[in-house]
Amino acid sequence: MTKLNGPHTIVLVTCREHMEIAGKTQLKEDVSTVGWHMPCSHKPKMYAIAIFKNHFTAEVIKKSESFAVNFIPHEMEKEALFCGKHTGYHMDKFVEGKIETEEAYSIDAPIIKNALAVIECELEHQYESGDHIIFVGRIVSEEIKKEGKRLLHIDEDVFSTTQ
């Protein structure tokens, strides 16, 4: 579908929650590559993301009821590919993917240190949509951290950026 309606700006969605893994409760931080996202309300300000139903990120967002949308520079293509191809269920994708984080301003989640901009959301709604869940969050914080060219997804493992 990306060839038909793309390219899409790639973001990394981050979240954190205590999760039960193999019978033990652990604090898990997760990050997922997302190409389907959009603002969806001015008043109140809201933002929507689409996550595969079976992804660990979806479980963490459902439980934590918050998420951060990190707009990344095109130089983070390798990290975006890594996060899109691995699950955070059995690994710390921040450590394995060498992604530096800092604390979010208004929610309990990590944010990407090198992000160009960050939107922090508290979960308001979730809707099943085929093989995805659309999470709609009320924006509680937003910041443009620095200027730069964003990563755009063309198709499969093909990326570009703005001119």
The per-residue pLDDT for range 85-132, each reduced to its tens digit, is 999 998 999 999 999 999 999 999 999 999 999 999 999 999 999 999
Q: Quick check: 80 pLDDT over 70? A: yes
Q: Kindly tell me if the per-residue pLDDT of 163 is higher than 70.
A: no
Q: What is the mean pLDDT of the chain?
A: 94
Q: Is the pLDDT of residue 1 over 70?
A: no
Q: State the Cα angle at 159 between 153 and 163, rounded to 5°.
A: 100
User: Residue 25 CB: number of other CB atoms within 10 A?
Assistant: 9
Is a pLDDT exceeding 70 seen at residue 79?
yes
Cα–Cα separations (whole angstroms), residue 10 to 20, 90, 162:
29, 24, 12
Residue 153 has pLDDT above 90, yes or no: no
Q: Which value, in Å, is the radius of gyration of the alpha carbons in the chain? A: 15
Q: Which residues pair with 121 in a beta bridge?
A: 67, 139
Is the alpha carbon torsion for 22, 25, 31, 37 positive or negative? positive
Confidence band (pLDDT; 50, 70, 90) for 19?
very high
pLDDT at 132: 97
**Which domain, by its residues, includes 31?**
2-161
What's the pTM?
0.95
3-state SS class at 84: helix
Nearest Cα to Cα of residue 34 among 70, 87, 73, 75: 70
| Number of domains, the chain | 1
User: What are the beta bridge partners of residue 128?
Assistant: 133
- CATH of residue 88's domain is 2.30.110.10
